[in-house]
Amino acid sequence: MSLDALPAHHPLATGETAESPLVAALEGRRPAHRPVWFMRQAGRSLPEYLKVREGTTMLESCLDPALAAEITLQPVRRYGVDAGIFFSDIVVPLKVAGVAVDIAPGVGPVFERPMRSMADIESLPALGVPGDGGAFDVALEPIRQAVRLSVEQLGSTPLIGFAGAPFTLAAYMVEGRPSRDHMAARELMWAAPDVWEALVAWTSRAAGLFLRAQVLAGASAVQLFDSWAGSLSEVTYVEKCAGGSRAALMAVADLGVPRIHFAANAGHLLDPMGAAGATALGVDYRTPLDQASRAVGGRFPLQGNIDPAMLGAPADALERHVQDVLDRGSEAPGHVVNLGHGMPPHADPDVVKRVVEQVHERG
């Protein structure tokens, strides 16, 4: 891992997080214990999260540096996990760029204007380049501040930067809101391929710049999260989507940080996801980790993949399930324990804490 392009004070450059269990596992090394963190651990089920979020919308919380940092840190304090995941939302880079989007409670991202034509794409805000002092670069400053505040308090515990994958962002923008089948997006990519390619180029640029801002501010790894790629065939994914994910992930490749690529319901896409610029792969709960490792020829450290539903199971059943994940994950060159999707909002924090203890003791 070459870290020459990182700022001298970055926690990887200083060595503060370089030997952490998370970074070691993501680089295919064997740490002293199996690292564990949870997708959507920042908030969701924690009473302290619900309290601190009172009176603020999701996007307001994401763009308040002190609040975003506090929410990022809460699960690290509560659970003793091996990484903080930056508290954000997939539409944050779109919002700060100037796209008219909001998160409707109980609905999700809702766009004022769906993207369906080349004229729509050409109306999107210019994104510029890192550090150019342009509007998008300036608008990312609250994100950089929140990362710096988080990293200062995390110490030797690494922070993972986060962004939504270009396909998921583009699918939301085409539909204008959440969709069960993403039909409008899937039709657009074949009916108007030039429009689709232009939109994915824009979303991959936004996601890549968003990740880069987080890394330069102190994140020690990144995760690109693709909510909806699993709805695609492998052929469609490779032809219409993989290039966007690769562009986003490669935006931080020169910085030397591990790059995790996760997509839900995407066991059939693991190999092309790995080829799309990843250095590690997140695996959802549907694909056993030993099968996932064999599917990619043992080339990638893996992350996952406790079934979130098992957090509500009897203690002995959950314990057996976690042990099975540990056993299967040991076949990969490196293994970071995680859920196979996001933390359920109703998860019992005491149960989650016991999972962390089990992983640390037996992993």
Q: Is residue 180 flagged as an active site residue?
A: no
From 34, 40, 116, 205, active-site residue: 40
From 89, 226, 284, 307, active-site residue: 89
From 49, 79, 172, 285, active-site residue: 172
For residue 159 the two structure tokens come to 């922070």
Quick one: how far is CA 94 from the chain centroid? 16
Instruction: Look up residue 255 and give its DSSP letter.
Output: G
Q: Is residue 144 flagged as an active site residue?
A: no
Q: Which residues lie below 8 Å from residue 60, measured CB to CB, with a gap of 6+?
A: none
Q: What span, in angstroms and rounded, lies between the C-alpha atoms of 329 and 293? A: 8
Q: What span, in angstroms and rounded, lies between the C-alpha atoms of 129 and 126? A: 10
Do 241 and 164 contact (CB within 8 A), yes or no? Answer: no
Q: What span, in angstroms and rounded, lies between the C-alpha atoms of 10 and 3? A: 9
Q: Is residue 89 flagged as an active site residue?
A: yes
Angstrom CA distances, 66 to 29, 30, 211, stand at 34, 34, 19
Q: Is residue 29 flagged as an active site residue?
A: no
From 34, 44, 212, 259, active-site residue: 44
Q: Is residue 44 flagged as an active site residue?
A: yes
Q: What span, in angstroms and rounded, lies between the C-alpha atoms of 356 and 54? A: 28
Quick one: how far is CA 174 from the chain centroid? 21
For residue 65 the two structure tokens come to 């540096």
- Identity of the residue numbered 157: T
| Residues labelled catalytic | 40, 44, 53, 89, 172
